[in-house]
């Protein structure tokens, strides 16, 4: 149960026909609850799965909840964060105060989660300098989101990997298989694909098919402890009012 002075955390997931998606989202939310038992955490889906975001908000309002932090379970600020989710939240019951938190990425914790998954897939820290990594995201038609992925790849390259190349499962290029080939041509001794996605589904499956020529394919980020910590960071930042500027 949430402490009286803490808003309810509403995690907003996209939803998918693939049952692995919802199962992964729920596993992540369970980890968040375990980390912060003083925070009430609910889950709502934009599409395909239940409960819907609106359904959760209406239930909370009926219970007498008045303060909610809505957290988009997204890695970049693309269309869903800029349009879909604000539109749903704007239609929330009027007695609810709903604040939208920032999306999860970018964050150093997410890079740590990516590396956790690579090591779980068989790489060792000693392999970094000889391994090229494909940072494979779902892709977006939003140029801001694509630029963020490219920036993350550049930043990650400076931590000791042979090379890091961004790739996209949709909307943008290159595809995963093209980035794998580029790293082979560059001379990396091994190539690893790190899916920068939160849960399994159609596009992550496309990333996996594109990784057929790689030596290592990491799992999706899923309910890794680093992702759970990012969720709580975004929640805390959204629930604490920003101090007003001091006028001299």
Q: How do residues 72-126 score in pLDDT, each as one tens digit?
A: 999 998 777 888 999 999 999 999 999 999 999 999 999 999 999 999 999 999 9
* pLDDT on residue 2: 57
Angle in degrees, 0-180, between the axes of helices 225-239 and 108-120, rounded to the nearest 10: 170
Instruction: Flag whether pLDDT at 61 surpasses 80.
Output: yes
What 3-state DSSP class applies to 86?
helix
Please tell me the pTM assigned to this model: 0.93
Instruction: Flag whether pLDDT at 247 surpasses 80.
Output: no
Instruction: Flag whether pLDDT at 208 surpasses 60.
Output: yes
Residue 150 pLDDT class (50, 70, 90 cuts) = very high
Q: How far, in Å, CA of 103 to CA of 73, rounded?
A: 7
* pLDDT on residue 4: 62
What integer best gives the mean pLDDT of the chain?
A: 94
Residue 242 pLDDT class (50, 70, 90 cuts) = low
Instruction: Flag whether pLDDT at 248 surpasses 50.
Output: no
Residue 128 pLDDT class (50, 70, 90 cuts) = very high
Q: How far, in Å, CA of 73 to CA of 50, rounded?
A: 15
Instruction: Flag whether pLDDT at 238 surpasses 60.
Output: yes
Q: Which residues contact 43 (CB under 8 A, 6 or more apart)?
A: 10, 11, 13, 25, 26, 29, 51, 56
């Amino acid at each position: 149960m949430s402490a009286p002075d803490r808003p309810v955390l509403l995690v907003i997931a996209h939803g998918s026909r693939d049952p692995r998606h919802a199962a992964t989202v729920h596993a992540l939310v369970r980890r968040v609850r375990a980390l912060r038992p003083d925070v009430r955490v609910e889950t709502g889906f934009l599409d395909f799965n239940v409960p819907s975001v609106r359904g959760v908000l209406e239930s909370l309002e009926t219970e007498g909840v008045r303060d909610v932090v809505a957290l988009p379970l997204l890695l970049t600020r693309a269309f869903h964060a800029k349009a879909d989710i604000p539109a749903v939240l704007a239609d929330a019951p009027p007695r609810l105060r709903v604040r939208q938190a920032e999306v999860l990425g970018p964050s150093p914790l997410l890079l740590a989660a990516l590396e956790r998954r690579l090591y779980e897939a068989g790489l060792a820290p000693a392999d970094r300098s000889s391994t090229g990594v494909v940072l494979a995201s779902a892709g977006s038609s939003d140029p801001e989101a694509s630029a963020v992925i490219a920036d993350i790849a550049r930043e990650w390259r400076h931590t000791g990997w042979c090379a890091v190349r961004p790739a996209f499962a949709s909307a943008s290029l290159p595809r995963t298989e093209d980035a794998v080939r580029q790293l082979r041509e560059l001379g990396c001794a091994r190539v690893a694909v790190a899916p920068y996605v939160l849960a399994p589904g159609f596009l992550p499956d496309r990333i996996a098919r594109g990784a057929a020529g790689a030596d290592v394919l990491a799992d999706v980020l899923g309910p890794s402890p680093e992702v759970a910590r990012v969720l709580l960071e975004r929640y805390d930042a959204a629930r604490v009012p920003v101090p007003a500027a001091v006028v001299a």
